[in-house]
Amino acid sequence: MDRYHQSEDRVCGVIWAIVWFCVTFEKPAFHPTISQEEKIFIEDAIGHVSNTHPTIRSIPWKAIVTSKPVWAIIVANFARSWTFYLLLQNQLTYMKEALGMKIADSGLLAAIPHLVMGCVVLMGGQLADYLRSNKILSTTAVRKIFNCGGFGGEAAFMLIVAYTTSDTTAIMALIAAVGMSGFAISGFNVNHLDIAPRYAAILMGFSNGIGTLAGLTCPFVTEAFTAHSKHGWTSVFLLASLIHFTGVTFYAVYASGELQEWAEPKEEEEWSNKELVNKTGINGTGYGAAETTFTTLPAGVEASYQQQAQAPNPTNPFATSWDDHGASSGVVENPHYQQW
């Protein structure tokens, strides 16, 4: 039976990959069926996109590692991953050991929490975008409210799961807890695009990499708590709740929805300056003026010019006096000069 389900998963994965490669394109302009109106709308919303890709040298690693908003995302990712892997690996075991349910009868109940979460993610995303697009709340406020609200609700219901003795209450609280976590997807999970869209993929990999450590640690902790008694499940869910409350606190204090200073490379600043000059001519030389480059002279040549400038009656040895016929006088002709 397990092999049958694994084959189903692989077939679904292959179908999804085929559809993905068929309908996905690098830029809106490359899509064969996109309308001109939609393409302009998307490109205007995105704004200027650099033609160069980040490299190992150009990525501001130090700024990323020391950025508090980045660590707010990482802590939130770790907290969410802890509960996700906890339920993914141990939900059926919890229902069997703590609630006395038969695993064969609990498959549907185990799926309901994640089904509810999927619905909440869709509704939460629409609500978050509505609040931002209509200027009702700032991006920072939306991210914090949805993330902290989702995590806070999940942590509260986890406490109920930890201490309740009623099977029905435990199942309902578990469904509500996982469902509330769906709101957090509109918080930390898309926050990378707010603070550093150019490096969003890097930040996602960074935060997910650390978040995956929760998946490595959680099974050992759970086994240590529940190895000798079913009452250890109380400690398991209590710990999950405390981790979520920690994520709520850290994210509420340090998260941001604003573009970070280090998120724009120098070439983007130069591009913006050039655009400003071309549009307004504020560099003092008018529209489309060319750049002026000053070169420092060698020390010996510079001293020679200074001596000439201080002479009582300075004369330019390279000056040419022209007669009415255009012939030069006082200048030695350059034998290598060719008239074109």
Domain boundaries along the sequence of the chain:
60-260
Report phi then psi at 118, rounded to 5.
Answer: -60, -40
Superfamily for the 60-260 domain: MFS general substrate transporter like domains (1.20.1250.20)
The span from the CA of 243 to the CA of 151, in Å, is 10
The answer to whether the beta carbons of residues 197 and 263 sit under 8 Å apart is yes
Q: Give the pLDDT score at 297.
A: 47
Over range 161-182, report the average pLDDT. Answer: 92
The residue type of 135 is: K
Which region among 124-128, 226-230, 249-253 has the lowest average model confidence (pLDDT)?
226-230
> With 80 as the cut, is the pLDDT of residue 97 above it?
yes
Give the CA-trace dihedral at 233, 238, 239, 240, to 10 degrees.
90
- Tell me if residue 187 falls in helix, strand or coil: coil
Q: Give the pLDDT score at 255.
A: 96
pLDDT tier for residue 15 given thresholds of 50, 70 and 90: very high
The residue type of 173 is: A
Which region among 137-151, 199-213, 319-333 has the lowest average model confidence (pLDDT)?
319-333
**64-78 per-residue burial string, b: 16 or more CB within 10 A, e: under 16:** beebebbbbbbbbbb
Range ranked top by mean pLDDT from 7-11, 308-312, 336-340: 7-11
Instruction: Give the H/E segment covering residue 94.
Output: helix 68-97
99: tokens are: 């609630």
> With 90 as the cut, is the pLDDT of residue 307 above it?
no
Neighbours of 262 (CB within 10 A): 18
Give the CA-trace dihedral at 129, 134, 139, 142, to 10 degrees.
-60
